[in-house]
Amino acid sequence: MKLDRSTNSKVTDVAGEIVEAGSAVHELKVGDKVLSKLNFWKGGGLAEYVAAPESLTVVRPAGVSAVDAAGLPVAGLTALKALMSIGTKFDGTGGTGANVLITAASGGVGTYAVQLAKLGNHRVTATCGARNMDLVRSLGADEVLDYNTPQGAALTSSASDEKYDYIINTAMNVNWSAMKPTLSSRGRVVDITPNPGNYVAAMLTMFARKKITMMALMSLGKEEMRFLMELVGEGKLRTVVDSRCPFEKAAEAWEKSMGGHATGKVIVEM
């Protein structure tokens, strides 16, 4: 297997069982089944054993498998932050919600974002490829657009006069020029991609009524991870698993994940 150090340094999401706890650890104990997010700059998740920080480790609820949990930290927290950034409430106080578009809704972040948006009482339009439309509907999307059709490419809802209050953009190839016409008069795009053109647009629209903002990733922590884990335990949120690969095929799993066409999460099992 060819697996270089740079690849392993990017793997930060791990789920397993605690086999040893340091003297400064107080909330966790040996035998706990947990989910952890490793340090982003160090990574190292492709290993039989990892040293995980207590500050980013939470106990998995009974019945939540390691596979169900392992996809949550980066993708789930990114989706949660995007929804929180547009004022989404998850305690029932969010009123009637907003009209939200989520692009690349069958990807790792997108599958969580659709579910969280519905939990926040939003009306959700989502884009994905034709083969994943039924899946995205099953996650709660009110309307699903095939991005390979003219309607999908234009991000246009079947209600032609309906504009989006917010767009959560997780697709690298969707540009501000395509999103702007679909926004309401004070609509906003939250972009989580490293799209250079959208970075420029974010600077130019900083004080405009219609605007795009670039979201910094992975700044949420333990409490938000615990919140997501509770949702999974309650059956309100699920991890869509594209495939489960043995450690010996970790390089292939990484290539598939980074190729941008995985449906949900690619899980490597030890």
> What pLDDT, on a 0 to 100 scale, did the predictor assign at position 1?
35
SS3 category, 45: coil
Whether 233 is covered by a domain: the verdict is no
> What pLDDT, on a 0 to 100 scale, did the predictor assign at position 38?
86
Give mean pLDDT, residues 90-110. Answer: 90
Whether 117 is covered by a domain: the verdict is yes
Instruction: Reply yes or no on whether the pLDDT at 10 is more than 80.
Output: no
What b/e sequence results for 14-33 when a residue is b if at least 16 CB atoms lie within 10 Å of its CB, and e otherwise?
A: bbbebeeeeeeeeebeeeeb
Same domain for 201 and 81: yes
Same domain for 66 and 81: no
Mean pLDDT value across the chain: 90
What whole-number percentage of the chain has pLDDT above 90? 70
Instruction: Reply yes or no on whether the pLDDT at 2 is more than 50.
Output: no
Amino acid occupying residue 9: S
Whether 226 is covered by a domain: the verdict is no
Same domain for 135 and 102: yes
Same domain for 204 and 94: yes
> What pLDDT, on a 0 to 100 scale, did the predictor assign at position 137?
98
Same domain for 38 and 127: no
Q: What is the pLDDT of residues 29-63, one digit of tens each?
A: 999 999 998 876 666 778 888 888 899 999 999 99
Same domain for 144 and 36: no
Whether 151 is covered by a domain: the verdict is yes
Strand ranges (DSSP E) for the chain? 13-17, 33-37, 57-59, 99-102, 123-128, 143-146, 164-169, 183-191, 211-214, 241-246, 265-269
Whether 263 is covered by a domain: the verdict is yes
> What pLDDT, on a 0 to 100 scale, did the predictor assign at position 9?
52
In contact, 97 and 71? CB cutoff 8 Å: no
Same domain for 66 and 104: no
Amino acid occupying residue 112: Y
Is the pLDDT higher at 245 or at 125? 125
Same domain for 88 and 191: yes
Instruction: Reply yes or no on whether the pLDDT at 8 is more than 70.
Output: no
Same domain for 105 and 177: yes
Same domain for 81 and 193: yes
CATH number for the domain harbouring residue 82? 3.40.50.720
Same domain for 93 and 53: no
Instruction: Report helix angle 222-233 to 77-85, nearest 10.
Output: 100
Same domain for 49 and 87: no
Instruction: Please give the residue range of the domain that contains residue 115.
Output: 77-214
Q: What is the pLDDT of residues 204-256, one digit of tens each?
A: 999 999 999 999 765 678 999 999 999 999 999 999 999 998 888 888 887 88
Whether 221 is covered by a domain: the verdict is no
Whether 43 is covered by a domain: the verdict is yes
Whether 223 is covered by a domain: the verdict is no
Mark which of 214, 231, 248 sits at the end of a domain: 214
SS3 category, 132: helix
CATH number for the domain harbouring residue 65? 3.90.180.10
Is the pLDDT higher at 105 or at 9? 105
> What pLDDT, on a 0 to 100 scale, did the predictor assign at position 40?
67
Give mean pLDDT, residues 3-22. Answer: 74
pTM of the model: 0.92
Domain count, the chain: 2
